[in-house]
A = this chain, B = another copy of it.
Amino acid sequence: MKTMTRPTTRTLPVTQPAADCCTPLVIPTSPDAGTTTAAKRFKALGDTTRLTILTTLAAAPEPVCACDLGDGVELEQPTISHHLKVLREAGLVISERRGTWGFYQLHPDTAAWVRAVLAAAPD
Protein backbone atom coordinates (compact mmCIF):
# COMPACT_ATOMS: atom_id res chain seq x y z
CA MET A 1 0.00 0.00 0.00
CA LYS A 2 1.25 3.44 -0.81
CA THR A 3 1.25 5.68 2.25
CA MET A 4 0.39 9.30 1.74
CA THR A 5 3.32 11.64 2.10
CA ARG A 6 3.13 12.67 5.70
CA PRO A 7 3.45 16.21 6.91
CA THR A 8 6.20 17.27 9.21
CA THR A 9 5.29 19.26 12.23
CA ARG A 10 7.74 21.91 11.26
CA THR A 11 6.65 22.68 7.75
CA LEU A 12 2.91 22.19 8.31
CA PRO A 13 1.98 22.01 4.64
CA VAL A 14 -1.44 23.23 3.69
CA THR A 15 -1.35 23.33 -0.06
CA GLN A 16 2.05 21.88 -0.82
CA PRO A 17 2.85 18.66 1.09
CA ALA A 18 6.44 18.29 2.19
CA ALA A 19 8.72 15.42 1.37
CA ASP A 20 8.42 12.12 3.18
CA CYS A 21 8.28 12.32 6.92
CA CYS A 22 11.16 11.91 9.22
CA THR A 23 11.86 11.17 12.84
CA PRO A 24 8.68 12.87 13.90
CA LEU A 25 8.97 13.63 17.60
CA VAL A 26 10.16 12.23 20.86
CA ILE A 27 7.30 9.85 21.46
CA PRO A 28 8.20 6.84 23.61
CA THR A 29 7.01 3.51 22.32
CA SER A 30 5.92 2.26 25.71
CA PRO A 31 5.33 4.63 28.64
CA ASP A 32 8.33 4.96 30.92
CA ALA A 33 8.14 4.54 34.67
CA GLY A 34 7.78 8.25 35.34
CA THR A 35 4.82 8.55 33.01
CA THR A 36 3.16 5.52 34.56
CA THR A 37 3.42 6.75 38.14
CA ALA A 38 2.35 10.24 37.10
CA ALA A 39 -0.71 8.81 35.38
CA LYS A 40 -1.57 6.83 38.50
CA ARG A 41 -1.39 9.96 40.61
CA PHE A 42 -3.47 11.99 38.19
CA LYS A 43 -6.04 9.23 38.08
CA ALA A 44 -6.27 9.39 41.86
CA LEU A 45 -6.84 13.14 41.55
CA GLY A 46 -9.53 12.62 38.92
CA ASP A 47 -12.43 12.38 41.34
CA THR A 48 -14.17 15.26 43.08
CA THR A 49 -14.30 13.47 46.41
CA ARG A 50 -10.62 12.60 46.43
CA LEU A 51 -9.71 16.02 45.13
CA THR A 52 -11.64 17.63 47.95
CA ILE A 53 -9.95 15.39 50.49
CA LEU A 54 -6.50 16.18 49.13
CA THR A 55 -7.21 19.89 49.05
CA THR A 56 -8.24 19.72 52.68
CA LEU A 57 -5.15 17.76 53.65
CA ALA A 58 -2.89 20.09 51.68
CA ALA A 59 -4.26 23.06 53.58
CA ALA A 60 -4.25 21.45 57.01
CA PRO A 61 -1.20 22.10 59.19
CA GLU A 62 -1.64 18.79 60.97
CA PRO A 63 -3.11 15.34 60.30
CA VAL A 64 -6.88 15.38 59.84
CA CYS A 65 -9.35 12.97 61.41
CA ALA A 66 -11.13 10.75 58.91
CA CYS A 67 -14.40 11.71 60.56
CA ASP A 68 -13.76 15.32 59.60
CA LEU A 69 -12.90 14.34 56.07
CA GLY A 70 -16.16 12.49 55.70
CA ASP A 71 -18.82 14.64 57.26
CA GLY A 72 -18.74 17.41 54.68
CA VAL A 73 -19.19 14.96 51.84
CA GLU A 74 -22.59 13.46 51.09
CA LEU A 75 -21.31 9.93 50.91
CA GLU A 76 -21.54 6.92 53.16
CA GLN A 77 -18.66 5.83 55.34
CA PRO A 78 -17.56 2.82 53.25
CA THR A 79 -17.32 5.04 50.20
CA ILE A 80 -15.02 7.63 51.72
CA SER A 81 -13.00 4.81 53.26
CA HIS A 82 -12.63 3.42 49.77
CA HIS A 83 -11.45 6.77 48.40
CA LEU A 84 -8.92 7.06 51.21
CA LYS A 85 -7.63 3.63 50.28
CA VAL A 86 -7.22 4.72 46.67
CA LEU A 87 -5.25 7.75 47.82
CA ARG A 88 -3.12 5.55 50.08
CA GLU A 89 -2.35 3.09 47.30
CA ALA A 90 -1.48 5.94 44.95
CA GLY A 91 1.10 7.01 47.52
CA LEU A 92 -0.51 10.39 48.05
CA VAL A 93 -1.55 10.09 51.70
CA ILE A 94 -0.57 8.16 54.79
CA SER A 95 -2.77 7.18 57.71
CA GLU A 96 -2.10 6.93 61.38
CA ARG A 97 -4.24 5.25 63.98
CA ARG A 98 -5.00 7.00 67.28
CA GLY A 99 -7.44 5.00 69.27
CA THR A 100 -10.65 4.61 67.34
CA TRP A 101 -9.85 7.45 65.02
CA GLY A 102 -7.73 7.49 61.91
CA PHE A 103 -5.70 10.54 61.03
CA TYR A 104 -4.66 11.31 57.50
CA GLN A 105 -2.03 13.56 56.02
CA LEU A 106 -0.24 14.00 52.73
CA HIS A 107 2.48 11.46 52.11
CA PRO A 108 5.83 13.13 52.89
CA ASP A 109 7.38 11.85 49.67
CA THR A 110 4.67 13.27 47.41
CA ALA A 111 3.34 16.20 49.41
CA ALA A 112 5.41 18.70 47.45
CA TRP A 113 4.14 17.31 44.19
CA VAL A 114 0.52 17.37 45.35
CA ARG A 115 0.77 20.94 46.58
CA ALA A 116 2.46 22.06 43.37
CA VAL A 117 -0.19 20.42 41.23
CA LEU A 118 -3.07 21.75 43.31
CA ALA A 119 -1.55 25.20 43.27
CA ALA A 120 -1.86 25.41 39.51
CA ALA A 121 -4.66 27.84 38.86
CA PRO A 122 -7.63 26.20 37.11
CA ASP A 123 -8.10 29.44 35.12
Contact = CB atoms under 8 A, between A and B. Distances in A.
Nearest to A103: B12
B27 A51 contact: no
Contact of A43 (B46, B49, B56, B121): B46
Given A42-B51, A74-B29, A37 B122 contact: yes
A32 to B, nearest CB: 9
- Counting every copy of the chain, the complex holds 2
Contacts of A69: 27
Interface of A: 4, 6-7, 9-10, 12-14, 21, 24-31, 34-49, 51-52, 55-56, 59-60, 62-65, 67-69, 71-74, 98-101, 103, 109-110, 112-113, 116-117, 120-123
